Amino acid sequence: TQLLEQSPQFLSIQEGENLTVYCNSSSVFSSLQWYRQEPGEGPVLLVTVVTGGEVKKLKRLTFQFGDARKDSSLHITAAQPGDTGLYLCAGQPLRGSWGKLQFGAGTQVVVTP
C-alpha cells in the first residue's frame, strides 16, 4: 500500500485542454514535492510546498497543498505536448526520519497535438 495515492493513473488529453492530477494521503506531510519524469531519466523537481493551503504557480502549472497537509493537486492550464511525462508527488511524513521521500505511483500524462 502506497502512502501517497495519485489519481488518475493515466491521462490523455488534446493540446490546449486543462488537466488536474491529485495526490492524497491519510498522513500529514511536513513538505511535499512534485516531480516530472521522462522515460529513461531521473525525476526533475518542479515545486516544493510546505504550508497548509499554499498555492504555487509555475507558468501554466498551479500546485496546491491541502489545508491539513495531507493532499495536493497539480493543475495544468492549456496543456502542450511538452507537458507529456510521468508526474510524481513525493513527501516527507511528519514523523519520517532523515528526509527520505515517500512517492506516489505517478500519473502518466500524454498531451497530443
Partner 1 sequence: DTGVSQDPRHKITKRGQNVTFRCDPISEHNRLYWYRQTLGQGPEFLTYFQNEAQLEKSRLLSDRFSAERPKGSFSTLEIQRTEQGDSAMYLCASRRESSYNEQFFGPGTRLTVL
Q: Based on the shown chain and the rule CB under 8 A, indicate whether residue 90 belongs to the binding site for partner 1.
A: yes
Strand runs labelled E in 1-113: 5-7, 10-14, 19-24, 29-37, 44-49, 55-58, 61-65, 71-76, 85-93, 102-103, 107-112
Nearest Cα to Cα of residue 71 among 46, 47, 95, 54? 54
Where in 29-68 is the site for partner 1 (CB under 8 A)?
Answer: 30-31, 33, 35, 40-45, 48, 50
Nearer to partner 1, 90 or 111 (CB): 90
Nearer to partner 1, 12 or 77 (CB): 12
Q: Based on the shown chain and the rule CB under 8 A, indicate whether residue 100 belongs to the binding site for partner 1.
A: yes
Q: Based on the shown chain and the rule CB under 8 A, indicate whether residue 23 belongs to the binding site for partner 1.
A: no
